[in-house]
Amino acid sequence: MAKARVSFWRVALIAAAGLASVPASAQVLGPDAGACNGGQGPAILATVTGLKDARGTIKLELYPANETDFLEDDKKLLAAGKVFRRITVAAPATSVARLCIRVPRPGRYALFFGHDRDGKRKFDFWSDGAGFPGNRKIGRSRPKLSDALIQVGAGVMQTTIRAQYLRGLGGFGF
């Protein structure tokens, strides 16, 4: 019996660290899922690991790949005719999610992942989670553009993003 407990905790820790593999058949979430499932692209398929819980919503946001526009207000970007795209879905009942977001054309972009746990639609660094393709530790300072950059070709670009939270560990049950 002790052996079973060790195995359970080992699996739980691996999943919390975002090292658990996700089957390729796992459901792709979001209104753009067809772009990733069909492989037609251009699109980004982001596997997000380490989700803290199933509260609230999760989202991907696509920004221009420059310092001025990175994390800028979406209304300002759209009014200026700049690239901005957001997909939002309910947080899944697992610690791993696969999200698809279409991109307007092949090129370089900045990608942001957010977990809005309290449903207020405003980032609260005390409770909400975030992540970027670079997976460097975020902390409380403004994220660096270099951590968010992603190059997308004509097909589907795959990336893994580790969800990060200021308080507590990511992963269900912790």
Q: How many structural domains does the chain have? A: 1
Q: Which positions ≥6 away from 13 have C-beta within 8 Å?
A: none
The reply to whether 120 falls in a domain is yes
- What domain range is 77 assigned to? 2-165
Q: Residue 173 falls within a domain, yes or no?
A: no
Residue 172 lies in a domain: no
**CA distance readout (Å), 140 to 6, 113, 143:** 34, 16, 8
* 82-117 residue pLDDT tens: 999 999 999 999 999 999 999 999 999 999 999 999
Specify if 170 maps to a domain: no
Assigned domain for 174 exists: no
Residue 150 lies in a domain: yes
| Global confidence as pTM | 0.80
**pLDDT tens digits, one per residue of 22-73:** 555 568 989 999 999 887 889 999 999 999 999 999 999 999 999 999 999 9
